[in-house]
Structures are given as structure tokens and as C-alpha cells.
Structure 1
Amino acid sequence: MRILVVEDDPTTAGYIADGLRQEGHAVDQLSEGREALVRAATEEYDVMVVDRMLPGLDGLSLVKSLRAAQDRTPVLFLTSLGGVDDRIEGLNAGGDDYLVKPFAFGELSARVSALARRPQMKEAETVLSAGDLRMDLLSRRVVRAGQEIELLPREFALLEQLLRRKGRVVTRTMLLESVWDIRFDPQTNVVETHISRLRAKVDRPFDHELIRTVRGAGYRIEG
């Protein structure tokens, strides 16, 4: 397997590259985002391991540029930013997996191997839809019936979770964990408040509702 490692910390980069080479992989090692963008345009790789915080061109911008150029090479993001919003941002930028520092090399190796086995993502998979509503995960645009809808980051993340489980019930607990990174059930109405705001933008201006309340269970988006 041929792997490109883009990491500006020489100790971390060497640790990753040496470990992958010992497993028999061919590894190229770069420390700057713009150089990596040029290299990826001229060389073919099976997987890229990319640090989010890079000099010159950061990891998110690098991967967005690759995806805009129709480069579908699987990307594993490395970062010290481990919050749910950070992971969502990385995946929405076009990353395929996300590993938080510090990490065990064994886990990194397993994730790299899994990405190499995974069929390459098709462009259609970057768009979620329900009825006449479409969400583009790369451009972060939401359009319903030809009308663009401006969503705040939490609203976007909330709608994304509903669309990813279209036709299925999404519980309050699932939303607290995936959107707010809350691992317990506090006495808060944050989910209900944001659902109400989301409905005001996504449903009320249109002729039928997509977001339904399933009493005693959670929410479901139809379409």
C-alpha cells in the first residue's frame, strides 16, 4: 500500500512513517499542506494521513481542495481537536475517518487498512436528501424547493443527523451525543429548542412538514 503522511511535527511524522514502513507499506512524508496538494495531484496514493493543523494550507483546506479536484483518495485526519463539532467539521470537509491525538499506532494502522479496503466514496454520497430538501455536505448548503436555507452550525448538525437516519426514529439521547457531545441525559430542553428553530426554517415556510415528532421516542424526518 502507498501512503502519504502529511504532518508538521517531525517526531509524530517519523513515528507514523516508520511504523507503516515496518508493516511493509511505501510511505511518503511531507510537512506542509500546499506541497501535499501538489504531490497528490501528480502521484497516486491508497490512503492519506493528514494532520488538521498544518502550516501554509491547513488540513481541512487541503482535503477540501482535493475533493473539489475529484480526488477521492481516502483521508484519515489526525488532530488534537476531539469534540463532536470538530469531528463533524473534518468529515464534512471530505475526510473519511478521524483519529484524535494522542493515539496508539495499532489503532492508526487498523484504521488505515480499513480505509484502503473501503470502496471509494461516490460524489452522490456527499448529498443527503428528503423529499424536496437537499443538504450538500461539502459546500454546507441546504436547499428546499429551490430555496436556500441558512442554518447555524448546530442546526446544520442536527438536520444532518436526522437526514442520515431518514425514515427512522432519532432519539433525544442520540442527538445529545452526536450534536452536543453530551454523554448523559441532563434536564435540558436544548434538543427541543433547536428542533423548534430548525422547523421554523425547514418546514414552516413550505407546504408540508418533513420533521415529525414521534411521541415518547424522538424525531423522524420523512421523505
Structure 2
Amino acid sequence: MRILIVEDEINLAEALSQILKKQHYSVDAVHDGQEGLDNALSGIYDLLLLDIMLPGMDGMTILKTIRAQGIHTPVILLTAKGEIPDRIAGLDYGADDYVAKPFSTDELLARIRAALRRKGEIVPEDGLRFEDLELNTSTLKLTCKGKELKLILKESELLELLMTRKQSVTSKEQMIEKLWGFDSDAEHNNVEVYISFLRKKLAFLHSSVKISTIRGVGYVLEVSS
């Protein structure tokens, strides 16, 4: 899952990025309002951590703009402790939650998990299941019929995306945006390499699940007949 941090305190943004990456989230961080809006409008993120006081464009304007554009990505506002009117306004404008600075890391992670659950996503600590596969996105372990192996991070992120989308086709472009970011230099062959790795590991586990190629469209999880 990919999270966007919009926070002008660079040290805080970097600290949050490291915390979230240790929880196996993919993270992008920007430090001004306009760049935050541009990234948020891409629609590739599963959750936004949005500071209210930002240079260029404030967080409330970003929030109102993305909601007006029909983007329903969960938003958690980062607010100063005394900004109660801002918290109320933020919730009225469509924020899902807020966290007052300074905040506890554990509380922030719990609020992120709760916001993703409300969205209908399966968050990492819950694990993911599809047919005979179970993926623990915290430990990167993939289990099938009592056999277990460990994936590398990009394999886990790619399989998580496919499992979350279930039997919907996912294009290479969607995979690149979700796993590497929309401004990444990653190309289609990066996706093909990790798809090949995953297919070999599913075969090793003797899973009934296979990754099928829909020519010209993308990839989808299917069950072998």
C-alpha cells in the first residue's frame, strides 16, 4: 500500500517515512502544498498524511480540492495540538481522521490501519488470503498448504496488489504507479521480472493460484482448473 506524506517539517517527514517503510508501506513525501496536491490528484495513493500548515497551499485547500475532484482516498490530518477549529473544519471537508502533534507512533499506525479498514482495504497486520495462498505483508512470508517461503519486498508488494484486486485485471502501468511511484523510471520489464519471480515461487509451493497474462491489458490471479 502506498502512502503520501505532505509535511513541510522535513525532519518529521523523513522520520515518518522511515517508520512507515519499516511497516512495509510504500511512501512518498513532499514538502509544499502545490506538490502535495499534484501528487494527491494522481489517484495512486491508498492514504494521505496531510499537514494543515503548508507553504504554497494549505492542507485544507488540498483536501477540499481532491474531494471536489471525486478522489476518496483516506486523509489523516496532522494538526497542532490547539487547532480544534481546524480539526472540525477538516472533518467537515472530508478528512477521515486527525492526529495532533506531537503524536505517538503507535497511535498514528493504529489510525492508519483503521482508516484503511474503513476504506475496505486489508491492512498489513491482518494478512491477505486468496484461495490456498496466505501472505503476511509484515514478515513477507507466503504460505500455501503448510509450505512457506519468504518473498523480497517488491514481490510481496506486487502479490499484495494482485490479491487485493482479487480477480480484476491490473495493468503494468498501475503496478508501476503503485509500487514505484508515478514519476519513477521503472519500466514494463521491471514488472515482468517480478511477475516471473512470483510465478516460480507459486510453482514451488504447488499453489492452485496462477498469475495469468491478459494480452495487451495486464495480469490477474486465477485458479488452475
Using structure 2 for the length normalisation, give the TM-score.
0.51
* Residues 6 and 48, structure 2, Cα contact 8 Å, conserved in 1: yes
**Residues 1-223 of structure 1 correspond to what in structure 2 (within 5 A)?**
1-119=1-119
Specify the code of the residue in structure 2 equivalent to 1:114.
Answer: A
SS of equivalent residue, structure 1 residue 60? helix
Specify the code of the residue in structure 2 equivalent to 1:112.
Answer: I
Specify the code of the residue in structure 1 equivalent to 2:38.
Answer: V
CA deviation vs aligned residue, 1:44-74 (integer Å, no higher than 9, x gap) = 1111000000100000110000001011000
Cα pair distance change 1:83/1:6, threshold 3 Å:
closer
* Residues 43 and 71, structure 2, Cα contact 8 Å, conserved in 1: no
Larger radius of gyration: 1
CA deviation vs aligned residue, 1:188-221 (integer Å, no higher than 9, x gap) = xxxxxxxxxxxxxxxxxxxxxxxxxxxxxxxxxx
* Offset at residue 42 of structure 1 (A): 2.2
SS of equivalent residue, structure 2 residue 119? coil
Cα distance in 1 for residues equivalent to 2:28 and 2:88? 27
How large is the Cα RMSD of the aligned pairs? 1.4
SS of equivalent residue, structure 1 residue 18? helix
Specify the code of the residue in structure 2 equivalent to 1:26.
Answer: S
Identical-residue share of aligned pairs (%) = 43
* Offset at residue 83 of structure 1 (A): 4.5
Cα pair distance change 1:17/1:32, threshold 3 Å:
same
Cα pair distance change 1:37/1:87, threshold 3 Å:
same
Cα distance in 2 for residues equivalent to 1:13 and 1:84? 22
Cα distance in 2 for residues equivalent to 1:93 and 1:18? 29
Specify the code of the residue in structure 1 equivalent to 2:16.
Answer: I
* Residues 76 and 99, structure 2, Cα contact 8 Å, conserved in 1: yes
Specify the code of the residue in structure 2 equivalent to 1:92.
Answer: D
Cα distance in 2 for residues equivalent to 1:116 and 1:101? 21
* Offset at residue 84 of structure 1 (A): 3.5
* Residues 81 and 102, structure 2, Cα contact 8 Å, conserved in 1: no
Cα distance in 2 for residues equivalent to 1:19 and 1:119? 22
Specify the code of the residue in structure 2 equivalent to 1:70.
Answer: G
Using structure 1 for the length normalisation, give the TM-score.
0.52
Gaps of 5+ in 1: 121-223
SS of equivalent residue, structure 2 residue 55? coil
CA deviation vs aligned residue, 1:57-112 (integer Å, no higher than 9, x gap) = 00011000000101100000001143542321111122110110000111111111
